[in-house]
Amino acid sequence: MKRLLLVSNSLPVHIKWQDDKYLIKKSDEQTISGLQDFYSAYKPEWIGLTDFENHEFTPKDISRLEASLKPFLCVPVFPRARDRNLHLHGFSRNTLWPLFHYFTENVTYSEVSWKAYLKINRLYAEKILEIIKEGDILWIHDYHLLLLPQMIREQRPDISIGLFSHVPFPSFEIFRLLPWRQEIVEGMLGADLIGFQTYDYVRHFMSSVRRLMGVDSVFNRISIGERTLKVDVFPKGINYERFRNKALEIHSNHPRPSVIQEEMKLFRESGNLEKLIISIDKLDYTKGIPQRIRAFERFLQTYPEYQGRVSMIVQAIPSGETSESFFNLKSQVDELVGRINGNYGTIQWTPVRYLNQTFSMDERIELYSLSDIALILPLRDGMNLVSKEFVASRHDGTGVLILSELAGASKELHEALLVNPNDLDAIAEAIREAIEMPEEEQIRRNRVMMMRLHRYTVGRWANEFIRGLESVKEIQEYTLTRKINITSMRKLVTSYRDSKKRILFLDYDGTLAWFKKNPEDAKPDKNLYEILERLSADANNTIVIISGRDKETLSEWFDAKWNIHFVAEHGVWFREPGNNWHMMEQINNEWKESVEPLLEYYVDRTPKSFIEYKNFSLVWHYRKSDPDLGLQRAWELKDELRTLTSNLNLEIMDGDKVLEIKYSGINKGRAATHKLGDSSYEFILAVGDDWTDEFTFEAMPEGAYTIKVGAKTTKASYYIESVDLVREMLCRFTKDKCK
């Protein structure tokens, strides 16, 4: 069985120093989280920090604590106290947390904190590299360790690495504010699978990768060199059965009422309450606790008939933070609660009961199941499991969830009353609607949400992530079997040298020459001229450069005296050695007059895009444009072109950052078939880099060597990493070393 290593900011145990020894107790994460079956199946080892935040460990301390944690399958990391503080309360909590939650005014950009973040990630990497073995699975959690995947990848490329972000990922316009954005993205891309809570976060991450790294994605896959990784959505669930069963137990007559139940009963009866609203979340500025209280105040102002009939319990769980912003937040909440209770409260009725304390899971379930409405309004939240917990605790299907549309959970719990947490009037109206909602409607909404939560539990979340990680490794292994490595290169060269009659179909841009932002800059260099000259000098070779380039450019770069066959504009023009350019068939060019104005319009709408004019095609280039805008405009242009060209017998070719409009039926595959003719070649090779070369690969007979440049989805038999390796392969054909 494969070993699973879980890596997070903290270990899933509580540690106390007492009576000259360490007392260790498992946390809820291991006991009641709903992941027990998952842990039993994988028996993971957990790497993370201990509870001792401001403590400098001696070698003796480290040895004793490591031994004490070993039975719990926990491997502690021991940073210096100052580094740990700067990493957690500096860069993680005061830079990444507010930035990722769109609170840019709360972000601090500290070089010292960044260096500590880097140091702690390296410390984790060192510890992992000490214990990791071949075949292990590494699952890294959350924003504290975003640099870690690449650090492990550099040393152990064989290891399967997963990264899951429990927090949102911001849009590029926000993320670009971070001075260390490039390092963060590069660190994350070291993983084989990157998981987020919602598709919005996936989309934002992909956008940042495109803009910062210049790397495109196909669906949810990113290819970096020869490695393919996936970015996908894995919304975290809850231990549904735990919440439902406990709620049923609370409402049965068997157990003795708990302290919470007694207090809730007294609170209801003392105010003669008709409805009780519960609002639970961490005391964190991203959770919008003040907005919830203000919204309830607005409700009391707007609907005074409910004064004395409805109360709200606000549980603000201490976050453990000590920064000034968190103290200010607590003061603000205290003042709001005092103001509302002072302005509206009576001797019998308390509008808001405020609890700044932590409750156990069982106590939370009691609060959920004994309330009527949950008001969960984070200003930004990766998921928000509290909303799911409330729904699962409604054993009889009653109860109304009012949920912020800015919480990740809103993507799953769309039967709730969804509101903008900044719109106080809308929230007040939602509270009124929740109070007056008939039980049948409550049950109808909750039943659908319950079924969803029952199906997609936290256990399924964990198992699906691991299965997703394994599927990525399968893709990578399949890709590696098709890679031109030393062994397959030797086989290919041997096959070439053993044959007498050969034909080589070679694409130009991205195959023989590197892409340039300006297409005219991609002219052949001295090295390429030498390679082609040696290949074409062999009388056994027929060399065909089959390109999308126009014939004028190819004529400028290659004189007609070259012993090379040329195919230009994807198969429109042909030139044999020593001859002039000619066409395989006559093509009507009148369509350009109707298409050109549309392309000019999109050039005006897309900065840095331009039109390339070929003899029998028009090409819209957007390589230099903003990546997201270019892609968006390409979709729009394709849609308009399809309508415009539906009766013109034209074809739209979607290449690498280009759209080319040309006469239908003309493609590289047809040109390659024409060049093959009836001749019987012993060795056939086709090399290309984009989807227009797929026509060439398709046209090749059985036994031909077809090679794609780059690890992209292809019909080719093999792939090769780069232009450099294509040139090296061609050099080996001629028994020469590449210069």
- Assess whether pLDDT exceeds 60 at residue 720: yes
Q: Are 563 and 543 in contact (CB under 8 A)?
A: yes
Q: Which two tokens stand for residue 404?
A: 């912020």
Cα 599 from chain centroid (whole Å): 33
pLDDT at 487: 84
In the chain, residues under CATH classification 3.40.50.1000 are: 481-586+666-733
For domain 481-586+666-733, which architecture applies?
3-Layer(aba) Sandwich (3.40)
Where does the pLDDT of residue 345 fall: very low under 50, low under 70, confident under 90, or very high at 90 and above?
Answer: very high
**257 C-beta neighbours (distance < 10 Å), count:** 12
How many contiguous H segments (helices) and E segments (strands) does the chain have? 27, 29
In the chain, residues under CATH classification 3.30.70.1020 are: 592-663
pLDDT at 679: 82
Q: Which two tokens stand for residue 196?
A: 């987020």
pLDDT at 123: 97
Which runs of E-coded beta strand occur in 516-587?
A: 541-546, 565-568, 573-575, 582-583
CATH topology (fold) of 240-459: Rossmann fold (3.40.50)
Instruction: Given the residues 281, 507, 550, 689, select the one marked as catalytic.
Output: 507
Which runs of E-coded beta strand occur in 3-57?
A: 4-10, 13-18, 21-26, 45-49
- Assess whether pLDDT exceeds 60 at residue 737: no
Give the right CATH number for 4-233 from 1.10.1060.10, 3.40.50.261, 3.40.50.2000, 1.10.1040.10. 3.40.50.2000
Q: What is the mean pLDDT of the segment spanning 46-58? A: 89
Q: What is the mean pLDDT of the segment spanning 512-524? A: 86
Q: pLDDT tens digits, residue range 595-639? A: 999 999 999 999 989 998 887 789 999 988 888 888 889 889 988
Q: In what order do the strands lie in the sheet containing 417-419? A: 352-355, 310-317, 275-282, 373-376, 400-404, 417-419
Q: What is the mean pLDDT of the segment spanning 313-321? A: 85
* H or E element in which residue 283 lies: none
Task: Considering only residues 437 and 326, tell me which one the structure prediction assigns the higher pLDDT.
Answer: 437
Where does the pLDDT of residue 186 fall: very low under 50, low under 70, confident under 90, or very high at 90 and above?
Answer: very high
Angle, nearest 10°, between helix axes 526-537 and 723-733?
Answer: 30
Q: What is the C-alpha to C-alpha distance for residues 637 and 633, in angstroms, rounded to an integer?
A: 6
- pTM for this predicted structure: 0.80
Residue 20 appears among annotated catalytic residues = no
Domain 592-663 in CATH 1.10.486.10: no
Find the range with the poorest average confidence among 67-76, 301-310, 324-333, 603-612.
Answer: 324-333
pLDDT at 645: 76
Q: pLDDT tens digits, residue range 365-419? A: 999 999 999 999 999 999 999 999 999 999 899 999 999 999 999 999 999 999 9
Report CA torsion sign: 346, 352, 355, 360.
Answer: positive
In the chain, residues under CATH classification 3.40.50.2000 are: 4-233, 240-459
